[in-house]
Amino acid sequence: MDWLDQIKWDAQGLVPVIAQEHGSKDVLMFAWMNREALEKTAALGRAVYFSRSRNKLWFKGEESGHVQTVHEIRIDCDNDVVLLQVTQLGHEPGIACHTGRHSCFFSVLRDGAWTPVEPVLKDPESIYK
C-alpha cells in the first residue's frame, strides 16, 4: 500500500498539518495539505501546503522567503493529522507567521481576552510586497 493511501483524508481531500520547530519544539503553525502537497513535501524536503483560500498549492516562503526545511514527517495514531519537524529559514529567529512573528500561536487567553505575548520580529508590510 502506498504511504499516502494510509492517510485519512477529509471529505475535501485534505489533512491538517502542524509545523513544529525541529530544535526548540515550538509549534509554529497549523495548515492543510492535499495529497500532492504532502507528496511534494516528502520529495523536496521543503514544506508545501494547500491554501484553501487560494485553492492551490502553497510553497511556504514563496512570497515571504520564510521557507521551512523539513527534517521529519510524522502522522498521529489515527493517521489523520500530520506533524512536520521543520527548520524555519529566511530570518533569524525564524518567522513562520504572516504577522511577522515566530509562531502563529502568539496570543494567550488572559482575563477573558486574547493577549499577544510574542513580538513582531519583522513588519509584515516589509515581508509581503
The helix or strand, by DSSP H or E, that contains position 30, with its residue range, turns out to be strand 27-34
Rounded CA Rg of the chain: 15
What pLDDT, on the 0 to 100 scale, is given for residue 125?
A: 85
- CATH class (in words) of the domain with range 3-94: alpha beta
Would you call 116 exposed, middle or buried from its count of C-beta atoms within 10 A (0-12, 13-18, 19+)?
exposed
What pLDDT, on the 0 to 100 scale, is given for residue 7?
A: 97
Rounded Cα–Cα distance for residues 86 and 20 (Å) = 6
Model pTM?
Answer: 0.89
Rounded Cα–Cα distance for residues 12 and 17 (Å) = 15
What pLDDT, on the 0 to 100 scale, is given for residue 40?
A: 97
What is the percent of the chain where pLDDT is above 70?
98
Residues in the chain where the model's pLDDT stays below 70: 129
What pLDDT, on the 0 to 100 scale, is given for residue 129?
A: 63
What pLDDT, on the 0 to 100 scale, is given for residue 47?
A: 97
Q: Are 59 and 31 in contact (CB under 8 A)?
A: no
21-43 pLDDT, tens digit per residue, is: 999 999 999 999 999 999 999 99
Rounded Cα–Cα distance for residues 87 and 123 (Å) = 21
**Mean pLDDT score across all residues of the chain:** 93
Phi, psi of 112 (to 5 degrees): 75, 15
Say which DSSP state 118 is in.
Answer: S
